[in-house]
Chains A and B, each alone.
Chain A
Amino acid sequence: AQSVTQPDIHITVSEGASLELRCNYSYGATPYLFWYVQSPGQGLQLLLKYFSGDTLVQGIKGFEAEFKRSQSSFNLRKPSVHWSDAAEYFCAVVNFNKFYFGSGTKLNVKP
C-alpha cells in the first residue's frame, strides 16, 4: 500500500534560518510527488511538484525540493524562512489518480 510519512509533526525555526521538511514515501514505481502548503482556514496551495527529469525542483515562494530515489525521499527546503511561511505543509504522492497525503508538518517561525 502507498504511504507518505512526514516524521516531524511540528518544527520551529527562527526567521531567516534555513528550513528542511522531511517526506518519505512508500511506492513501487517512480511516483509523482507534490508539496502543498495550507494556511489556517485556507485550502491547499501547490508549492512544487516532481514528475520526472531533474531531481531538484524549484517552486513558488523560494521553496525547492529534491527527489532521492535511493532514500524514497522528497524533502522540502528553503534557505531563509520568512514569518509568512508559518503554515502547515503536506507532502503527497499520486497513484492511480488518487493523492495520498502525509499527516503534515506544522511550521512555526520565531521572530
Chain B
Amino acid sequence: DTGVSQDPRHKITKRGQNVTFRCDPISEHNRLYWYRQTLGQGPEFLTYFQNEAQLEKSRLLSDRFSAERPKGSFSTLEIQRTEQGDSAMYLCASSLVSGDTQYFGPGTRLTVL
C-alpha cells in the first residue's frame, strides 16, 4: 500500500494559464475526493467520485474547474484561466466506502502569479 500520491507537489503559474493536477488513490479505494485548503483554514470539499462517476460538486467549484476519473483509478483536476484567488493547496483523498476514513495525499500547492 503506497498511499495516496499527488503530482505535481508544487505548481507556479501565471494568471490566465491552465493547470492540471493528478491524484492516484489507494488502489482498492472506490471513493476519491478533492479538497482545497487555503492558509489558516481547514480543507474545503470540492468534489468526489464513486469509481468513475462524479457524484457531487461543491458550489466552490466554478465553471473553470473540472475533474475527471476516467477509469475509476487516478483522477485529474483541471483549472482553466487561473486567477490569483485559486492559489491554495489542493488535496486529494480516497476511502474504501462511504463515510469511512479518508486517506489524504501530500497535496499540490498552486501559486498563481
Q: Which residues of A contact B (CB under 8 A)?
A: 4, 9, 32, 34, 36, 41-46, 49, 90, 92, 94, 97-104
Contacts and interface: CB of A to CB of B under 8 A. Distances in A.
Looking at A32, A43, A100, A102, the one whose CB has the most chain B CB atoms below 10 A away is: A43
Contacts of B56: 97-98
A80 to B, nearest CB: 26
A31 to B, nearest CB: 10
Contact of A43 (B31, B44, B105): B105
Contact of A44 (B44, B55, B91): B91
Interface of B: 4, 31, 33, 35, 40-45, 48, 55-56, 91, 93, 98-99, 101-107
A46 B101 contact: yes
A55 to B, nearest CB: 18
Nearest to A95: B99
Given A43-B106, A104-B40, A104-B42, A97 B101 contact: no
Given A94-B99, A104-B42, A43 B91 contact: yes
6 contacts: A34-B101, A43-B105, A97-B98, A98-B45, A99-B102, A101-B43
Nearest to A46: B101
Given A43-B106, A46-B101, A103 B4 contact: no
Contacts of B55: 97
Contacts of B93: 44, 99
Contacts of B98: 97
Contacts of A98: 33, 45, 48, 56
Given A97-B31, A97-B48, A103-B41, A43 B107 contact: yes
